[in-house]
Amino acid sequence: MSDLKDYLKAQQKSVDTALNSFLPRAKVRPATIHEAMRYSIFAGGKRLRPILTLAAAEACGGEEEAALPPACAVEIMHTYSLVHDDLPSMDDDDLRRGRPTSHKVYGEGMAVLTGDALLTEAFTILAETPPTKRYPLKEILLEFSICGGSRKLIGGQVLDLEGEGKNLSKAQLVRIHENKTAALLTTSLRLGGMTANATPRQLEALTDFGYNLGLAFQVIDDILDVTQSTEKLGKTAGKDEAVDKATYPSIIGLEKSKKEAQRLTKKSLASLSVFGKKSSRLEEIAHYLLDREY
């Protein structure tokens, strides 16, 4: 089995090749929107969510080919959320994935439309997912649409907006990230499992793994905002503190945040026992995310 870094590189390449073939060409008219969609998608990015989809399919004994449409769909939904989150009316960010944000390049109106178009395109691509015995296309669509809707991602963003300028408790912060970061990571994993006709027990294990891994990922994201440079992160470092945003370090302190990330990662790993050796990539990814520097 190859080293994790080689594995991640190879998976990023597979995902990028699939994204390139699924997305409308940049010259398709009206070209501006298709260029803008590709600008944000191919700006870099770790491709964590699609890699989790592929690794979850593998853990459940499935094929990578079948998992590529949902893998691309989750990456596109993630990218749409970043484009909209960076808008002046949301977090107002100038830099993302090491490049000027979409609205800085294409203007605010076009960035709104780019996010809308990406989200819509994600459903078009998701519809290419081959159904399995336990998971007809309806199940797959519901998993994805509920995750992206007002009960999860948008709901989390609403809590986030409403929490601005307030002193949030740790429980309130957890509630935001359960609905945003953890929800999308969980759906990424579950969709991978569905393409492999996962048993209910396997799907439950992926759900628990995703919940704790997602929260751990967000704790680390908050820590990195304080400890890393803008250059390393590819987005404005220190932004959370500058706008007085509630984060794990601001609520429980940096040291306790590191311990919390370790605790959540350990908890996530415990869910993987049902897969035996087949989940070794998921395990490696969880360890890697805990130690990441960007």
**Amino acid (one-letter) located at 147:** C
The CA distance from 157 to 161, in Å, is 6
Least Å from the CB of residue 78 to ligand GRG: 6
Name the residue nearer to ligand GRG (CB basis): 85 or 283. 85
Q: Closer CB to ligand GRG, residue 45 or residue 70?
A: 45
Q: Which is nearer to ligand GRG, 8 or 33 (CB)?
A: 8
For residue 140, what are the CA distances in angstroms to 120, 132, 171, 196, 264?
A: 15, 10, 30, 12, 27
Q: Which is nearer to ligand GRG, 102 or 218 (by Cβ)?
A: 218
- Quickly count: other Cβ atoms within 10 Å of residue 234's Cβ: 17
Can you count the helices (H) and strands (E) in the chain? Answer: 16, 2
Q: Which residue has the tokens 């991602």?
A: 153
- At its nearest, how many Å lie between ligand GRG and the CB of residue 49? 7
E strands of the chain, at which residues? 95-96, 99-100
Give the tokens for residue 221.
């994201």
For ligand GRG, the binding residues (CB under 6 A) are 45-46, 48, 81-82, 84-85, 90, 97, 153-154, 156-157, 180-181, 184, 218, 221
How far apart are CB 27 and ligand GRG at their closest, in Å? 26
Q: In whole angstroms, how close is the CB of 291 to ligand GRG at the nearest point?
A: 14
Minimum distance from residue 203 beta carbon to ligand GRG (Å): 22
Residue with smaller CB distance to ligand GRG, 116 or 128: 116
**96 by DSSP, 3-state: which?**
strand
